Structure 1
Amino acid sequence: MVYYLILCRSLTYAQRTATALERAGITAYILRSPKRIAGEGCGYSVKIAERNLAAALLALRRAELTPKQVYLTAGDGSYREVLL
């Protein structure tokens, strides 16, 4: 299954991001960022369906929330950063 991970700088920021997306009608799940993409320290991500990326970025812009990074994940477990 292909989906996007929106990396956030803290748990609170991930919660705000998920809330803004849910208000826009986009299903969002908060989870710990995979170590391969989180870098140093622990991080949190918000998971959204592949079809929702454009609407999610628009909703976050309206809520004045800027994603740290966005990654596309593939069914084979690989991650590819999406340049915004």
Structure 2
Amino acid sequence: MLYYLIVCRSLTDAQRTAAALERAGITARVLRSPKSIAGEGCSHSVKVSQRSLPDALRVLERAALSPKRIFITAGDGSYQEVEL
């Protein structure tokens, strides 16, 4: 199953992002970002299903929560960055 990882600036941002999405009825889960996409230091991401991303981005825009980066899973388990 394909899903997106919304990379956040901090754990607090990830928690706020997930809470805003859950309030809007979008299933979201906070997790540590995989090392391959974390960059420098540790980061946290919010996982959403592929079909939920357009709605999730609208919810985040209304809540003034901007994602740092967004990645989609590839078939081989790797991640590809999605341009916003």
Structure 2 length-normalised TM: 0.97
**Equivalences for residues 53-64 of structure 1 within 5 A:** 53-64=53-64
Residues 40-76 of structure 1 show CA distances to partners (whole Å, capped at 9, x for unaligned) of 1000000000000000000000000000000001242
Between 1:69-78 and 1:26-35, the stretch displaced more is: 69-78
SS at structure 2 position matched to 1:80: strand
Q: Which runs of 5+ in 2 are unaligned?
A: none
1:1-48, Cα deviation, whole Å (9 max, x unpaired): 210000001100000000000011100000000011011100000000
Q: Which runs of 4+ in 1 moved over 3 A?
A: none
Contact 1:14 1:30 in 2 (8 A): yes
Residue type at the aligned position of 2:72 = L
Please tell me the residue identity of whatever aligns with 2:56: A
* 1: CA distance, partners of 2:3 / 2:39: 20
User: Paired residue for 2:17?
Assistant: 17
When the two chains are superposed, the root-mean-square deviation of aligned CA atoms in Å is: 0.7
Aligned AA for 1:47? K
- 1:83 match: 83
Match of 1:46, SS state, is strand
Partner Cα separation in structure 2 for residue 9 and residue 40 of structure 1: 12
Counterpart mapping for 1:1-84 below 5 A: 1-84=1-84
Contact 1:11/1:44 (8 A) holds in 2: yes
